[in-house]
Amino acid sequence: MVWVILLSFSPGGFSWWTILCVMTGSIVGISLGLLCCIYVATLHENDLWFSNIKEVEREISFRTECGLYYSYYKQMLKAPSIQQGLYELIHDDTTESKRTINILQRMNIYQEVFLSILYRILPIQTYLEPIYFYIYTVFALQTVYVIALFITSWLLSDSWLAGALSGVWYILNRVDTTRVEFTISLRENWSIPFFALQVAAITCYLRPQLKPIHQRVVLWLVFVSTFCFCLTWQFNQFVLLVQALIIFTLDCLDFLTVVSLYLMQVLSLLLVWLLQFCNSMILGSLVLSFIVSALFIKHFQTGLKTGGFVIRVGKLALHTLLVLTLTFTINYSAKKILQLKSDEHIFKFIKAKFGFGATRDFDASLYLCEEAFGLLPLDTFERLAGTVLLYPYLCTLSVLFILLLLVALSNLSTNGSGQASREKEDRTFRIRPDVAYNLLHTVFFGLLAFSTMRMKYLWTGHMCAFAAFGVCGKEVWSLYLRVLHCNTKTTVISRSPSNSSLSFYTVELMEWIRLKTPKRAVFAGSMQLLAGIKLCTERILTNHPHYEDQALRERTRQVYQIYARQSAEEVHKVLCSVGADYIVLEDSICYERRHSRGCRLRDLLDLANGHIMDGPGENEPDLIPATHPRFCEAIKTDMPPYSTLFTRVFKNKTFNVYKLKKLKKKNKAENGP
């Protein structure tokens, strides 16, 4: 951290005053990072009494896919050796029944592999349990995150006070900046700190008057942070696509010409592609197609930045059209050649979300009906205003965005001659490349957060750094005096709600499965519950929450027929086809009231099957009444044919577990010739 700041602020040499300021700022930044780490760790402990509950209860606290990811860390530690553990991950036959899959290829779990190896070789086993080593590592990444925001705002404003303010705002707005204390294993909690580091490195790289040798060193930091970000999150390609669009926009508007940033993205993705055993989803990503198209068109479309205003706007419009056309052509061709369908559910979701036709697609509807994938709630802005973050952010954003438009219009009004370059130097209003990048970064990711609430964590952290730059940056204050008068008011800081406690009925279920079922038993049920079953009991699953595989999505839809209106025979046939021995039915799903009509899981299944939905309300005219009762309700009658095919072996107030009866093969005479 100290070296990066010194490198950026003193390209020509270091003075004692500069060194003193940098050392002071670095101490403050590291202290704020450690404070944040301790804060979220304390919240986690106080909310769950983590140190005072049983191991199975600790594991249940890893909700939904968090449990799935943690199970591989646990699996690596239980393996006789590191080599055997890696072999079991590459040839896994417990995550999906009747299938052997390569977990390292399918999922982004290298962080779990790395931590398990680190825990084995470090002399810490006697005083630190594996689960604590895991969660403390994730919490420690919050230190990295805060330091990265600190550096970004410091570089933008030339004042470490801005870094301190960004760190304080990040902690005060914890409800909207992170959810790490209750979703520890989520991939975003591993990757977003590295993304923040990448943004800090890009900010340093774009600073004016940085020597070429220093630029190369910082560019290496950009590559390392981008690679770590890509390796730890399967949605990396979509985030990098937004970032590539930012770079493309700045290049078109003549703010910077940085091919190297494109190349760092490409190299990072290709290295991850190799580590994930040539995962075709990466090669078929939109961001790779876009970067190839942008560089190809730019190389052949000469004279793009010459001519008057109208001519340049026309050239840019044509340039953008050509790049987008080539992007979709390359992407479509790549997916056809690779036979790639792993990410098609995401594009179906996007299409339906933005109103390009209604959909009954089960996978897209699962996303559409989840609150996390809806629009950003308005109460988010009330909380951000309560910590006095929103007002300076909006003021900074407004002033700098107006400045960006003015400078962009001025850039487009001049050609690429030397006289034009001298005119740019003499302008009253100018904007630095690093400021322009961070401005568009907060605009683009802000729009992404508005459209999809789950993506707000990519925006709100950077929002703290950007607002702190507005408060402490001398350049911004000079613009305030020229453009507007800023007047903000302080309100009471809101407190975050506590998380729900663990379900003791879930603990009871896990203990029963662990003690009363064979170790190779195969369980079917909801994705979220099955992830916990794998972690806590190490049983085999039929499906799981890692949804980036078409065959798995189809299998999940089939298994979920246990909540649809299907016959006992049909459900039994489907479950036998995936090798299930037990099914776990949840009353919270069968009688769900959390979602409105049309978004309950049973409604999504009815629509996908062409059946009329439960309850009062309108139905589409082509839907028909189902010929069978809802399976999850009818099976509780314990009447034939349900009792013929299923036997209830466990029950509590939340869960019902049924064992599948294996049908005897009919003799040849009954079946006919």
Nearest to 569, CA basis, from 672, 648, 640, 670 = 640
* Cα 149 from Cα 159, distance rounded (Å): 13
Q: Please give the structure tokens belonging to residue 566.
A: 């299907």
Please tell me the least confidently modeled range out of 270-274, 310-314, 351-355. Answer: 351-355
Average pLDDT over residues 140-164: 95
Whose structure tokens read 């990066």?
Answer: 4
Checking if the pLDDT of 23 tops 60, the result is yes
- Facing residues of 648 across strands? 658
> Residue 184, SS3?
coil
Strands 582-586 and 646-651: unpaired
Whose structure tokens read 């195969």?
Answer: 522
Q: How buried is residue 415: exposed, middle or buried, by Cβ count under 10 Å (0-12/13-18/19+)?
A: middle
Are residues 440 and 247 in contact, defined by beta-carbon separation less than 8 angstroms?
A: no
* Cα 118 from Cα 125, distance rounded (Å): 11
Per-residue DSSP letter, 361: -
Nearest to 32, CA basis, from 183, 149, 173 = 149
Q: Tell me the pLDDT tens digit for each residue of 321-355.
A: 999 999 999 999 999 999 988 878 888 888 887 77
CA–centroid distance for 348 within its chain: 18
The C-alpha R_g of the chain, in whole angstroms, comes to 28
Strands 646-651 and 655-660: antiparallel
Q: Please give the structure tokens belonging to residue 32.
A: 């704020």
Are residues 259 and 294 in contact, defined by beta-carbon separation less than 8 angstroms?
A: no
Q: Tell me the pLDDT tens digit for each residue of 413-456.
A: 876 554 555 455 545 568 899 999 999 999 999 999 999 998 99
Nearest to 210, CA basis, from 254, 262, 260, 146 = 260
Checking if the pLDDT of 294 tops 90, the result is yes
Tell me the HSE value of 155 on the side-chain side, using a 13 A CA sphere: 32
> Residue 123, SS3?
coil
> Residue 304, SS3?
coil
The residue ranking higher by pLDDT, 524 or 301, is: 524
Other CB atoms within 10 Å distance of the CB of residue 80: 8
Per-residue pLDDT band for 643 (boundaries 50, 70, 90) equals: very high
Backbone angles phi, psi at 593, to 5 degrees: -130, 0
Per-residue pLDDT band for 489 (boundaries 50, 70, 90) equals: very low
The confidence score (pLDDT) of residue 510 equals: 95
Report the percentage of the chain scoring pLDDT > 70.
90
Please tell me the least confidently modeled range out of 174-183, 545-554, 582-591. Answer: 545-554
Strands 540-541 and 582-586: unpaired
Q: Tell me the pLDDT tens digit for each residue of 196-241.
A: 999 999 999 998 877 888 889 999 999 999 999 999 999 999 999 9
* Cα 209 from Cα 199, distance rounded (Å): 19
**What's the CA angle centered on 575, arms 343 and 566, to 5 degrees?**
90
The confidence score (pLDDT) of residue 486 equals: 44
Q: How buried is residue 477: exposed, middle or buried, by Cβ count under 10 Å (0-12/13-18/19+)?
A: middle
The residue ranking higher by pLDDT, 363 or 560, is: 560
* Cα 124 from Cα 130, distance rounded (Å): 9
Residue 522 parent element (H or E): strand 522-524
**Range(s) within the chain of domains with CATH label 3.40.50:** 504-660
The confidence score (pLDDT) of residue 667 equals: 42
Q: Please give the structure tokens belonging to residue 210.
A: 């940085």
Checking if the pLDDT of 482 tops 70, the result is no
The confidence score (pLDDT) of residue 366 equals: 83
Are residues 403 and 429 in contact, defined by beta-carbon separation less than 8 angstroms?
A: yes
* Cα 597 from Cα 200, distance rounded (Å): 45
Nearest to 585, CA basis, from 631, 519, 624, 619 = 631
Checking if the pLDDT of 495 tops 60, the result is no
> Residue 376, SS3?
coil
Residues near 61 by Cβ (< 8 Å), separated by ≥ 6?
48, 50, 182, 502
How many helical (H) and strand (E) elements, i.e. helices and strands, does the chain have?
Answer: 34, 5
Nearest to 434, CA basis, from 180, 108, 155, 102 = 155
The residue ranking higher by pLDDT, 585 or 424, is: 585
* Cα 222 from Cα 24, distance rounded (Å): 25
Instruction: Mention the CATH class of domain 504-660.
Output: alpha beta
Kindly compute the dihedral angle of the four CA atoms of residues 99, 102, 108, 113, in this order, to the nearest 10 degrees: 120
Amino acid at 325: T
Nearest to 531, CA basis, from 100, 96, 136 = 96
Q: Is the peptide bond before 518 cis (omega within 30 degrees of 0)?
A: no
Average pLDDT over residues 32-59: 94
The confidence score (pLDDT) of residue 439 equals: 97
Checking if the pLDDT of 641 tops 60, the result is yes
Report the percentage of the chain scoring pLDDT > 90.
72
Nearest to 113, CA basis, from 69, 63, 55, 60 = 69
Please tell me the least confidently modeled range out of 22-26, 200-204, 535-539. Answer: 22-26
Please tell me the least confidently modeled range out of 309-313, 349-353, 619-623, 652-656. Answer: 349-353
> Residue 129, SS3?
coil
Q: Tell me the pLDDT tens digit for each residue of 79-124.
A: 999 999 999 999 999 999 999 999 999 999 999 999 999 999 999 9
DSSP track, 449-505: HHH-GGGGGGTHHHHHHHHHHHHH-HHHHHHHHHH--------PPPPPPPPPPPPHH
CA–centroid distance for 432 within its chain: 30
